[in-house]
């Protein structure tokens, strides 16, 4: 059994064959999906999807790219959405200084606000970090719980960042970019993640594994990630499935 802890099945890329995508993933061994909200619209659609499929859970969050447009009415809606019983996480939230589609200060304010909501609701954070590692760590250390309940999603940092993330108590998830031919360095870094902090995700429709580069990613391809982690960590595929499933169930309180 496998849990895809981060996918976006609500995105338009899955509009034509969403149910078939879920069926293919289930046949590949995916038992549960966490459909991650990245906007108010996406969070609402994630909850709708979770209501239609027993295997799907939802998270509520707003991507840092949208930070400039946030108002108090936004948070009124966030709090309303969080009342749904199938919402099991806050995310994805964090910082993204790659294209800076929103100002860094607004991103930091939004991230801090979601950390506070996470603490109040006792829900784990699904954290997005792109080209903002130092600020992400500083905000988490200043405002988070100790240990911090959550996961650093799509980890792509260096050993120093990994050490800080683990020290704060966070889980670490990798996507299928770990399978890329040019990901040798990242695969070396992945060796430093303890098994009891490891999670699997696809971030579908993004980051399709090497065998499907250039195509739409989907949760069924998570087996490619499982296989490469089995090689990297020198444990069986069955052990990767077992441990990461246990970790996800515990962190996200999946029955």
The span from the CA of 106 to the CA of 23, in Å, is 40
What are the pLDDT digits (tens) for 114-123?
999 999 999 9
SS3 state at 233: helix
Q: How far is CA 237 from the centre of its chain?
A: 21
| Residues 52-76: tens digit of each pLDDT | 999 999 999 999 999 999 999 999 9
Higher pLDDT, 100 or 235: 235
Percent of the chain with pLDDT over 90: 98
pLDDT digits (tens, 9 = 90+) for 178-212: 999 999 999 999 999 999 999 999 999 999 999 99
> How does the average pLDDT of the chain come out, rounded?
97
* CATH number of the structural domain spanning residue 110: 3.20.20.140
Query: Residue 99: its pLDDT value, please?
Result: 87
115-152 per-position pLDDT tens digit: 999 999 999 999 999 999 999 999 999 999 999 999 99
Q: Judge whether residue 158 has pLDDT over 90.
A: yes
Asked if the model's pLDDT at residue 78 lies above 90, the reply is yes
pLDDT at 232 over 90: yes
pTM for the model: 0.97
46: containing domain: 2-252
| DSSP letter string, the chain | -EEEEEE-TTSGGGTTTHHHHHHHHHHTTEEEEEEPPSSHHHHHHHHHHHHH-TTEEEEE---GGGGGG--HHHHHHHHHHTTSTTEEEEEEEEEE-SS-SS-HHHHHHHHHHHHHHHHHHT--EEEEEES-HHHHHHHHHHHS-SS--EEE-S----HHHHHHHHHTT-EEEE-GGGGSTT-HHHHHHHTTS-GGGEEE---TTS---GGGTTSPP-GGGHHHHHHHHHHHHT--HHHHHHHHHHHHHHHHT--
CA torsion sign for 214, 216, 217, 223 is negative
User: For the segment 82-106, what is each residue's pLDDT rounded down to a tens digit?
Assistant: 999 999 999 999 999 998 899 999 9
- Asked if the model's pLDDT at residue 255 lies above 90, the reply is no
The whole-number pLDDT of residue 106 equals 97
Query: Residue 8: what pLDDT?
Result: 98
Q: Once rounded to an integer, what is the mean pLDDT over residues 224-231?
A: 98
Domain count, the chain: 1
| C-beta of residue 42 within 8 angstroms of C-beta of residue 93 | no
**Residue 42: pLDDT above 90?**
yes
């Amino acid at each position: 059994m496998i849990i895809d802890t981060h996918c976006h099945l609500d995105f338009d890329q899955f509009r034509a064959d969403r149910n078939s995508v879920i069926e293919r993933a289930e046949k590949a061994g995916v038992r549960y999906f966490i459909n991650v909200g990245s906007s108010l619209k996406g969070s609402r659609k994630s909850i709708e999807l979770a209501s239609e499929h027993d295997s799907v859970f939802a998270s509520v969050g707003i991507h840092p790219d949208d930070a400039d447009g946030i108002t108090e009415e936004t948070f009124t809606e966030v709090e309303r959405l969080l009342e749904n019983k199938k919402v099991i996480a806050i995310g994805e939230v964090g910082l993204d200084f790659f294209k800076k589609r929103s100002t860094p200060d607004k991103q930091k304010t939004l991230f801090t606000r979601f950390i506070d909501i996470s603490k109040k609701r006792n829900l784990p954070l699904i954290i997005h970090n792109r080209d903002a590692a130092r600020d992400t760590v500083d905000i988490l250390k200043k405002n988070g719980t100790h240990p911090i309940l959550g996961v650093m999603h799509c980890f792509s940092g260096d050993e120093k960042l990994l050490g800080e993330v683990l020290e704060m108590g966070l889980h670490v998830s990798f996507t299928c970019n770990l399978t890329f031919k040019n990901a040798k360095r990242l695969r070396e870094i992945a060796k430093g993640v303890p098994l009891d902090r490891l999670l699997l995700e696809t971030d579908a429709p993004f980051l399709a594994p090497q065998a499907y580069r250039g195509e739409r990613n989907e949760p069924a391809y998570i087996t490619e990630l499982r296989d490469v982690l089995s090689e990297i960590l020198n444990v069986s595929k069955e052990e990767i499935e077992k441990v990461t499933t246990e970790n996800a169930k515990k962190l996200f309180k999946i029955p």
